[in-house]
Structures are given as structure tokens and as C-alpha cells.
Amino acid sequence: MKRTTGLLAAALLASTAIGASAETLRWARAGDSLTLDPHAQNEGPTHTLAHQMYEPLIIRDQTGAFEPALATSWAPKEGDPNVWVFNLREGVTYHDGADFTAEDVVFSINRAKSEDSDMKELLTSIVEVRAVDDYTVEMVTDGPNPILPSNLTNLFMMDKGWAEANDTVKVQDVEGGEQTFATANVNGTGPFRLVSREPDVRTVLEQNENYWGMDQFPMDVTRIEYTPIQNAATRVAALLSGEVDFIQDVPVQDLGRVADTEGLVVKTAPQNRVIFFGLNMGADDIANDDVEGENPLADVRVRKAMNMAINREAIKQVVMRGQSQPAGMIAPPFVNGWSAEMDQAETDVEAAKALMEEAGYSDGFSIQLDCPNDRYINDEAICQAVVGMLGQIGVTVNLDAKPKAQHFPLITNGETDFYMLGWGVPTYDSEYIFNFLVHTRTDERGSWNGTGFSNPEVDEMIQSLASETDLEVRNDTIQSIWEVVQAETIYLPVHHQVLNWGMKEGVGIEVDPEDSPKIKYISMN
């Protein structure tokens, strides 16, 4: 930690010493991208950095609306609802000068569907991708898929020739600790190209002068100096001192201090993300508790008791300083399938104690809680608060907090019994949540379902969503799935996050509900 802090300070001082120009954006946030391989991790900060260098076919603008990126138009094929046709942007080149064509789209989609890809759940309905000509692609789906475009906004296009030449056709196996050429090198079509990369220290990008959108977007920023600063006080100090121009995560305790500083601005908006806890309910016995031969989390009464013990309003007021919205379900209000009725959570410690006694755990039990300390707003502090709340019903929690790079593999590898996770929904549809978090863990779905929850009937309902064109029927199915999720208490929702971005007055950017600033939109005054 001392070494990392020193390197961060050195990086900041170096950038300050050379006197960054008005076109340089010095940008900081709590955590770094996990990898530069665009298909290896489905994680917010990883996608955010990738969006500066790579591009999808379709993008969401700062308001969340669709905008053409590498595809100029898309629609179901006339006479065949099982085929989506994408017309590609012509005259686009990669950073190395190679032409972007349909064969790159075919390659990228198939790569993203492969076993080690963390994006594959988004593409389960696609059975074939074919190039009609250099600038037309057809995606064949297993039945009509009305929301396919929504699944492509973070699905980045790679140059097939570059990947083959650099032996990086295969997606990086992050969980297995693999490093590949694509882990630290980029050849995209995006507005910025990679200059240097020091993971967890500093990443430098420079404007791609041959970018196809030079005349369509402000493109005021010519250089990006991206510095992850995990420590909240250090991050705020860097903004206050002028060492950075923009931080994505102003700590809630420093909002007033930043907003009251001359020349600085805080912009706030609800985020399309829920913070929650997952419980390993599927195992017969679990490793990280003190109950021999059984799994207390397998009893729905225990899960409900733990859910009722969490005082979300107290977390909002004390930990989050009012900057959160208590949640009763793991879907944000932005998402199709969310309902105000389900998004309610009751705190009742006495009723929770009664449930624990009814389940045979009147004396409680102990369990380990795995928590990230550099991913979500006040993540470790939330976990600490929940430790005390669960203690009131006899659940003794041993907290183990660590950086997200070590935390996330515990979930995807099935090595945690009780964990914190946050989930954003870039498709704005519940199917995305179900595919990753509710479906039985298989090769194609459920990659982030660390709960062991498995229900074949629910799986069938989830799979039907990809091809159901009657939206009323589809929404009824979504409602039915949510009813099971809520009744089973698979997850313990905490709150919907609120975003607070801090910046110099001259940095013209609005808060993106995905917490994913796209620097090409920024104007620098």
C-alpha cells in the first residue's frame, strides 16, 4: 500500500510539474480498469476506460439514449424477425490504420460469446453472425429478440487481423490469472489511443486524430491522464489542490467542502446501480461459518431475518450522508420490471430474532463477509455498518475487505458464502439482471450468481425473455421471476447509488447514470 501511494503521488506530481494544458484532462476515480481486454470483464470502470479507446456498434449518450457508433442503423430483417441487420459506418480505421469491416464484427461477437468472456450472457440468443458484405452484418437469433440492440452498448469491436497477429484471439482468462497481449495493449477505433499503461497507477491516452467522429463531437480533450486513487482523502486532496481536474466519486463526507471551493463544481444524479449482498444458499454446507454439517443460509427464514436486520435508512443517513435511496429489490428504478411496491424493505429486529429462533438459530452463528474496498461508494463502511446490524440478531460477521481485483474472483469462482456486489443495468431491462444473477450458473448464464440459487422453471422463464415479442406477455414473465426472487430472498438489497462527480468549472460534462463518462463529449472551457 505504501508503495502504491508513493507511485500515485509521483504520477500526480509528474503530471503537475509538466504543466498540463487546457486540453489535458486529469481524471481520477477510486479504482482502475481490471484489464484492457474488451471482452474479459463486465465491470463498470473497465468498460469506462475501454469506451475511450474501443467502440461498440451502438452507444448510449449522456442521457442513456441510443446513438449510432460503429453501426449507422439497425433493424430486424424484413420478412425474417429472427435476423437483425446492422449497417456499418464506412471509412472507419483502427488506431494502427487498418480498416474496420464486417469481418471484425463477426470476429468480435464470436469472441465475446466464448467461454472466458464475461460478456457472453448478453449474446446467448445469437446463434450466428454473418458478413453480408464489408459494411453489412446479420445477427441470427434463436427466435425474435426485440431488445438485442440494448445488449450491444458495451460490446466492443476488435480488429480481427490485429488479434490474430498478436495471438490474442482467445479472451483473457482473468479468473485464472492469465495475462495476454490484449491485457495491456489496445487497437480500437475510438477517440483516444493508448500511450502508456501502469495498472493501478496511471494510464495515459492521446486523441486519435483520425477518429471518424472528430467533427461530430466536441473532442476538446487531446490527452487523458487517468489515475486511480483508492484513498478518499487523497482523491479529494488531489482535486482541491488542482492536481486533477475531474473525480468520479466525491466522498459523501466531502461534498460540501468540494462544492464550496471556488472554481470547483459537484454534479449529482441517481445512478443505474443497486448495492446488495449475496448469500450462498445453494450449498449443503459452507466453509466460512461455524455451523458444522449444515448451511444456515439455505433456510429462507435466516435469509429473511438478515434482510430485516439491515437498517437501510440508518445507512443512508449515517454512512451515506443522505446520498442513497434505500432498496428492496436489486433492480434500479431505471429498469423495466422495477416496481415501487417491490422496492420496499422493512427493518424489524424483533421479528428477525423470532425468525432466527424459528429456524433453530436462536444462539446465532458466525460467518465471513467478503467486501470490496475500492469499487462502490463507501463500500467497506457499508459492510462495517451491516456487521453491527446483523450482530443484533446473533449473526457474528467477520469482515474481510480487499480491492475489487481480488474480491470479484471470489464471486465468479464460487469461493465466497456472503459477499457485497453492485449491479448496473446498461440494457435498462430486467433480463440482464436475471441472466447474470438469477439463472443457474452454466457455461452461458449465471456467471455472477454466487448464491447457488437454481430453479429450472425460473431458468426457462428467463430464457424465454430473449425471444418473446409480445411485450405484455414478456413483462408478465419478468414480474413472475421477480416474485420468486423476492420470496426466496436470494439477495439482500441495500440501496440505489447516487453519483457525485467533482470537477473544475471549465470541465463541461454531465453525470451519466451509468457512471461511465465518455470523454469525447466533454467541452473544456
Q: What are phi and psi of 194, to 5 degrees?
A: -75, 130
Alpha helices in 208-295 (DSSP H): 232-240, 255-259
> Are 122 and 109 in contact, with CB atoms under 8 Å apart?
no
Residue 2 has pLDDT above 70, yes or no: no
Query: Exposure pattern of 89-108 as b/e (b: 16+ CB <10 Å)?
Result: beebebbeeeebbbebbbbb
pLDDT at 321: 95
As a whole number of angstroms, the distance between CA 3 and CA 211 comes to 37
**What single DSSP character describes residue 429?**
B
**Residue 102 β-bridge partners:** none
Mean pLDDT computed over 94-123: 97
Residue 108 has pLDDT above 50, yes or no: yes
pLDDT at 36: 98
User: Could you give the dihedral angle defined by the CA atoms of residues 181, 184, 187 and 192, in that order, rounded to the nearest 10 degrees?
Assistant: 180
Burial class (CB in 10 A: 0-12, 13-18, 19+), 70: buried
Please report the domains of the chain, with CATH numbers, ordered by start residue.
Answer: 2-263+505-524 (3.40.190.10), 273-497 (3.10.105.10)
What is the value of pTM for the model shown?
Answer: 0.89
pLDDT confidence of 64, banded at 50, 70, 90? confident
Residue 90 has pLDDT above 50, yes or no: yes
Mean pLDDT computed over 396-411: 97
Query: Exposure pattern of 301-325 as b/e (b: 16+ CB <10 Å)?
Result: bbbbbbbbbbbbeebbeebbeebbb
pLDDT at 472: 96
Nearest to 58 by CA among 49, 67, 50: 67
Residue 338 has pLDDT above 60, yes or no: yes
Give the side-chain half-sphere CA count within 13 A for 171.
Answer: 23
Nearest to 32 by CA among 16, 51, 45, 15: 45
Signed CA dihedral, 316, 319, 324, 326: sign only: negative
pLDDT at 5: 39
Residue 290 has pLDDT above 50, yes or no: yes
pLDDT at 62: 80
> Are 205 and 194 in contact, with CB atoms under 8 Å apart?
yes
pLDDT confidence of 22, banded at 50, 70, 90? low
pLDDT at 433: 98
Q: What is the mean pLDDT of the chain?
A: 94
Residue 6 has pLDDT above 70, yes or no: no
